[in-house]
Structure 1
Amino acid sequence: MATSVAANELDTLSRQLSVQFRRNIRLITCETALEYCRRCIAVAADGLGEKKPLSEIAGMITCQMSELMGHSHWYCVFGKRYGSSITHEKGYYIFFEIDQFTVMVFRHTEDCEKSET
């Protein structure tokens, strides 16, 4: 399980991904391995490029995380404006901006304990 990534690493990766995907990307918080952040952003960038509905892109991100991490109970909030107050499992949280959208990806502990123990 990864710990939070340092701010300077997030800034560096944000700049690299902005160039790679030709989008304005800002990683705010990453409590997973950086590769998982990259994959989430790649899915988001591809979905936006294909003009998919935001709910579909969110679903694609949760499916990608389930495949990568080998377990389900991932959630994704993808939108322009929203407030949030969530509980997530430590080490399983990604928060980033892509263009004018904010994206929150997380795994919830309670759901995992009920079905994966």
Structure 2
Amino acid sequence: MDTIEQTVGKNVKAYRIARGLTGRELGQRMGALCHKEGKAWPPQTVYMMESGERSFNIAELSALSRVLEVTLDDLTTGDWFRKQATPFEPNALLRAKLEEIAHEASKLLDIQHQTTS
């Protein structure tokens, strides 16, 4: 049986992917809500959270539920997926990563175009 950290971590990752957010975007949004200076959560924090290696305080759980547009109960139980009309798509993680890479490539091409113009 999973620990609460593992359950929440798995759910956060699944909801993040379902919402089309990258880990970096989640970290930025969490930083804006949880950090006094709005400093983004580092990628290591997001990774540790999603892999169940990090505990949460109530402010973080509340912020996660706001960012992911789910309830605290959804984060701790995973009931949100059962309420959806379509099942969770396992390839969503790959799609989200490919979109992130395409976005970064587009930014690099824009920079290259600006420097050659």
State the TM-score, normalizing by the size of structure 1. 0.28
Quick check: which one's strand share is greater? 1
Quick check: which one's helix share is greater? 2
* Larger radius of gyration between Structure 1 and Structure 2: 2
Looking at both structures, which has the greater relative contact order when contacts are Cα pairs under 8 Å and sequence separation is at least 6?
2
State the TM-score, normalizing by the size of structure 2. 0.28
